[in-house]
């Protein structure tokens, strides 16, 4: 999962102001830095809006290459705390990568995807570039962010199939009773994030 920068073709709602975006991106970097230094980061939301519970994904890159991506789909904490937690987890807990090193830290770029609440959706209502998907069935679930379909040039059916694949379900599970939920994401990042 690799969120794109604000120049992305992904449709986004502009719920967060430029100042709020700056605050959240700075927080993501500070969270990684504090972990590298072995200190706790105080993550008190500076505004009521940033205190609202939201799901979010943080994707980090090093020299343009994916370096980690971790997120929470469900809004269990404030968006501010969620960004702090997912940035740290993307840097140190994504099992696909070794932990970020002190030497890499200055070269990291961050992209954030702030999620809307999940809503049930019919397959024919899915819009490429607008919706992310969560498909679940038989205790399995798979999630793909809205920008993934755009990055791969998928049509609606392929996007549904690939979300089923991510869940470990048959590709046609979306046609055979799987629960389909959609969300939108406001995606923004540092200059140079992919």
The Cβ of residue 150 has, within 10 Å, a number of other Cβ atoms equal to: 18
Q: What is the pLDDT of residue 64?
A: 86
Q: What is the pLDDT of residue 44?
A: 86
* pLDDT: which is higher, 121 or 7: 121
Distance separating alpha carbons of residues 145 and 148, to the nearest angstrom: 6
Least confident of 4-13, 26-35, 118-127, 133-142: 4-13
SS3 of residue 89 by DSSP:
helix
pLDDT in tens, 98-114: 999 999 999 999 999 99
- Ordered structural domains, the chain, with CATH: 18-115 (3.30.700.20), 119-183 (3.30.1490.150)
Is a pLDDT exceeding 70 seen at residue 151?
yes
Distance separating alpha carbons of residues 77 and 56, to the nearest angstrom: 10
* pLDDT: which is higher, 172 or 4: 172
């Amino acid at each position: 999962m690799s969120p794109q920068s604000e120049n992305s073709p992904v449709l986004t709602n502009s719920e967060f102001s430029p100042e709020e975006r700056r605050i959240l991106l700075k927080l993501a970097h500070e969270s990684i830095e504090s972990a590298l230094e072995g200190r706790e980061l105080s993550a008190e939301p500076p505004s009521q809006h940033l205190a609202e519970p939201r799901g979010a994904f943080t994707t980090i890159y090093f020299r343009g290459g994916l370096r980690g991506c971790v997120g929470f789909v469900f809004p269990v904490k404030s968006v501010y705390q969620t960004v702090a937690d997912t940035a740290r987890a993307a840097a140190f807990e994504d099992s696909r990568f070794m932990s970020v090193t002190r030497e890499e830290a200055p070269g990291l770029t961050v992209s954030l995807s702030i999620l809307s609440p999940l809503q049930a959706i019919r397959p024919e209502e899915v819009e490429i570039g607008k919706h992310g998907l969560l498909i679940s069935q038989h205790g399995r679930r798979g999630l793909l962010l809205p920008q993934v379909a755009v990055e791969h040039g998928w049509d609606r059916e392929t996007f549904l199939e690939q979300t089923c694949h991510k869940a470990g379900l048959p590709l046609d599970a979306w046609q055979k009773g799987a629960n389909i939920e959609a969300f939108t994401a406001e995606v923004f990042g540092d200059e140079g994030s992919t």
